[in-house]
Structure 1
């Protein structure tokens, strides 16, 4: 393993920061100062120290997080709360989000220090399914569902979306379904709500274009007012996790995701 990767995974700092530490002579390998961050080390046999203290490497870590709306999927932000701000009992130096969710979107998000894990789940060539639950103003006809499932144009400069899966859960008038909806501030933005049709359902996609779910539904006349990611691959959001809570992934979940 590269020295800088080892230090970052041990939460000494981000990859960028630990490279600076190495170049400044703050790191030793077997009591010898090493100045090259890309130096190969044997993590099982070599003794790595930072400022004279042994570096403890706990290995790769994986978290499942129930992201609430209102926070950004980023490590740091000068103006807004980030997903990492919820990990107050965890050393977050090496953690990063796997992919992203829009600020107003809730649901399943993974955080890890494993770059290969992130690549496996988020690279476009891997086509890992991601399922979202939504509420939207509008309705979905059989023709609309066929368009979503076979591919749809969501922008002049965008490619046609890959085949998706759509399952309608509830459909009717707002007056009939309002008690079941969680649409927050949208009530203030829409007029004549009692005369609006609404629809809820599940949309599964295997890619990640910007605001893709919202734009796909908009392309068939639906305005999304609530969105929650409920699964990635074969792993679903743990129902015991409340908004803002997290837990470590179990070994079986990590293995399943790496095989998706």
Structure 2
């Protein structure tokens, strides 16, 4: 990041409007830098040192932002789509101007942990196949999940296209017997093939009927977040993610 940048660019980045709107703010004396009214919207300022206020409100500059979302069903993990609602449509204006994108994807009918950021380097490290960052899912599965399935997942299973997965860690939480058995499980995988969890269970003749991602690397879903809710990562959460992808 450059040590200094234009005032209007910084204010646009922090959500104060377009360049032309910011020019109007400056013209009417609404912008102060270090306590002095500014008359030039192109003024070079240091965001780490200079104190900026707009209409009396302090401006907090961030180069990067990291958002944890509890993704609901029915929205897609994309930045834009002409037909479907995207996860970006769930964001308010306080973060929308940062131009974040999903670090990875969840299927339209899958819920749970999704990281949104504008930090391309971190996103790349999280998603790099060479890093093998673990992702854990909670799932409800039609059929009786057995210890044989646990062993099969541990070895890696052959998907419908012939690909053999890396070993997965399958934990059986509960099995409800009956005419239509239902199993509750957690599964940790270290890759991200298309519909991978669903296809792994298809490989052992079972059907995933509910899927939720609960962790990615060291980052765990905040269960206080309602579906569609989001918040910024804490410093400890961000440090854990970065340390885990070095």
- TM-score scaled by length of structure 2: 0.75
Q: What is the count of residue pairs matched by the alignment?
A: 206
Q: Which structure carries more relative contact order (alpha carbon 8 Å, separation 6+)?
A: 1
- Structure 2: which 5+ residue stretches go unaligned? 16-41, 50-58
Cα separation, 2, equivalents of 1:111 and 1:156: 30
**Which residue does 1:146 correspond to in 2?**
151
Equivalent residues in 2 for 1:107-146 (5 A)?
107-146=112-151
Cα separation, 1, equivalents of 2:60 and 2:175: 54
Judge conservation of contact 2:159–2:199 (CA < 8 Å) in 1.
yes
- Structure 1: which 5+ residue stretches go unaligned? 14-29, 33-41, 46-54, 175-194
Judge conservation of contact 2:140–2:185 (CA < 8 Å) in 1.
yes
Judge conservation of contact 2:14–2:62 (CA < 8 Å) in 1.
no
**Which residue does 1:236 correspond to in 2?**
220
The one of 220, 226, 234 aligned to 2:204: 220
Is residue 96 from structure 1 mapped to residue 101 from structure 2 by the alignment?
yes
Judge conservation of contact 2:67–2:230 (CA < 8 Å) in 1.
yes
Judge conservation of contact 2:113–2:213 (CA < 8 Å) in 1.
yes
The one of 154, 163, 170 aligned to 2:167: 163
The one of 61, 68, 77 aligned to 2:81: 77
Judge conservation of contact 1:66–1:108 (CA < 8 Å) in 2.
yes
Is residue 67 from structure 1 mapped to residue 71 from structure 2 by the alignment?
yes
Secondary structure at 1:254 match in 2: helix
Cα separation, 1, equivalents of 2:13 and 2:104: 20
- TM-score scaled by length of structure 1: 0.71
Cα separation, 2, equivalents of 1:225 and 1:131: 17
Secondary structure at 1:125 match in 2: coil
